[in-house]
Amino acid sequence: MECVRAMKGKQNSPAVDGFQAVSTILDSLDALVYVAAMDSHELLFMNEYGRSKWGEAGGRKCWQVLQADQSGPCTFCTNNQLLDEQGQPTGVLVWEFQNTVNGHWYQCRDQAIRWPDGRLVRIEIATDITDRKQMEQQLEAARREAEIRADTDALTDLNNRRAFFNLGRQVLRQAQSSATPVSLVMFDLDHFKQINDEYGHAAGDEVLKAMATAAAGQVRATDILARLGGEEFAILMPQTTLQQAEKLSERLCQALAACVISFEGKQLQCTGSFGVSTASSGEASLDALLAQADKAMFKAKGAGRNRVSIVDR
């Protein structure tokens, strides 16, 4: 106001009322500015930005004008954060909020101040940050998607090798700390090269997808099923004994053999060879379990394929 008066004096311009000048400034801002009594929540002032978006204050309370479906003060009201234990203003509180009337995001700067009549009031200056928030949300969604893609086998949608090792180590740590059994099944499709050679790579891809779907239908949510590469798959099963893993493998072996895949008018079939290893109280490393299951699987291949072989004990 001093500044306005000083301008008046110096430039000898027509008289400018201080109140009008301040109102003009506040009404020109591209931000909501409002003042509400801290005790009654009565809206004492709101600039043009606020009036154009939320309507006239008309003696109403801030929560009646600025928020939707409120029957009393908002649960997120910042009043109690703006005063210290002695009831004195603590300074500016900066926070972000999605308005419940228009869905826009605002960065709010709230402060308790003394109103000319001596009351404590909350002044809020809020700028629209919706564009920034949307960009942040899009970036976060893209980051999550990239994370999922990095762990997913693009052909079958199963966990990939990287995810299998990351999740598998966690499962083994848990099994070791709870001294519970964990079992590992490896399986590899039989004579898969022949399918590629005879029907083409696209046909081979369809078989891989069908086998992955059949396997996914047999495992529990807590099991970690992955395509390790090529036509080789693995399942790590927490809280599972060797006998239980062998049973699951037998079931899965039959399910794969029963799978008929239609491809360009042809009916394709494939079987798998299975190897099973176990750590009865979770005390083995993932590499050791894989090596044992791989050895057992090799045994199943050697014994004629389309069968399950368990680790030598």
Lookup: tokens for 170: 């966690």
Tokens 């009865």 identify what position?
Answer: 280
Choose one: 13-21, 93-101, 133-141, 203-211; the region binding ligand GTP (CB under 6 A): 203-211
Active site residue 2: no
Under rule CB under 6 A, residue 294 binds ligand GTP: no
Q: Which is nearer to ligand GTP, 189 or 284 (CB)?
A: 189
Choose one: 129-137, 185-193, 236-244, 247-255; the region binding ligand GTP (CB under 6 A): 185-193
**Beta-sheet strand order (sheet of 105-114):** 43-46, 32-37, 120-128, 105-114, 93-98
Under rule CB under 6 A, residue 257 binds ligand GTP: no
Alpha-carbon distance of 52 to 34, in angstroms, equals: 13
- Binding test (CB under 6 A) with ligand GTP, winner from 201, 220, 251, 266: 201
Please list, in sequence order, all residues whose beta carbon lies within 8 angstroms of the beta carbon of residue 211, skipping any fewer than 6 positions away: 189, 231, 233, 256, 259, 270, 272
Under rule CB under 6 A, residue 191 binds ligand GTP: yes
- The CA-CA-CA angle for residues 103, 104, 108, to 5°, reads 125
Please list, in sequence order, all residues whose beta carbon lies within 8 angstroms of the beta carbon of residue 64, skipping any fewer than 6 positions away: 70
- Binding test (CB under 6 A) with ligand GTP, winner from 189, 211, 253, 284: 189
Cβ 198 to ligand GTP, closest distance in Å? Answer: 11
Cβ 177 to ligand GTP, closest distance in Å? Answer: 36
DSSP character at residue 119: -
- Binding test (CB under 6 A) with ligand GTP, winner from 4, 155, 214, 291: 155
b/e per residue 14-28 (b: at least 16 CB within 10 A): eeeeeeebeeeebee
Choose one: 57-65, 144-152, 191-199, 237-245; the region binding ligand GTP (CB under 6 A): 191-199
Alpha-carbon distance of 225 to 214, in angstroms, equals: 11
Under rule CB under 6 A, residue 205 binds ligand GTP: yes
Cβ 264 to ligand GTP, closest distance in Å? Answer: 14
Tell me, what amino acid is at 166? N
Under rule CB under 6 A, residue 188 binds ligand GTP: yes
Choose one: 21-29, 60-68, 102-110, 197-205; the region binding ligand GTP (CB under 6 A): 197-205
Cβ 149 to ligand GTP, closest distance in Å? Answer: 17
| Count of CB atoms situated within 10 Å of the CB of 265 | 5
Under rule CB under 6 A, residue 266 binds ligand GTP: no
Asked if 67 and 79 touch (Cβ cutoff 8 Å), the reply is no
Cβ 211 to ligand GTP, closest distance in Å? Answer: 11
Q: Which is nearer to ligand GTP, 16 or 155 (CB)?
A: 155
- Which one of the listed residues 231, 232, 246, 283 is annotated catalytic? 231
Asked if 305 and 270 touch (Cβ cutoff 8 Å), the reply is no
Cβ 188 to ligand GTP, closest distance in Å? Answer: 5
**Beta-sheet strand order (sheet of 308-310):** 224-229, 232-238, 182-189, 272-279, 308-310
The residues that touch ligand GTP, with contacts defined as CB under 6 A, are 155, 188-193, 196, 201, 204-205, 208, 230-231, 301, 305
For the annotated catalytic residues, the residue numbers are 231
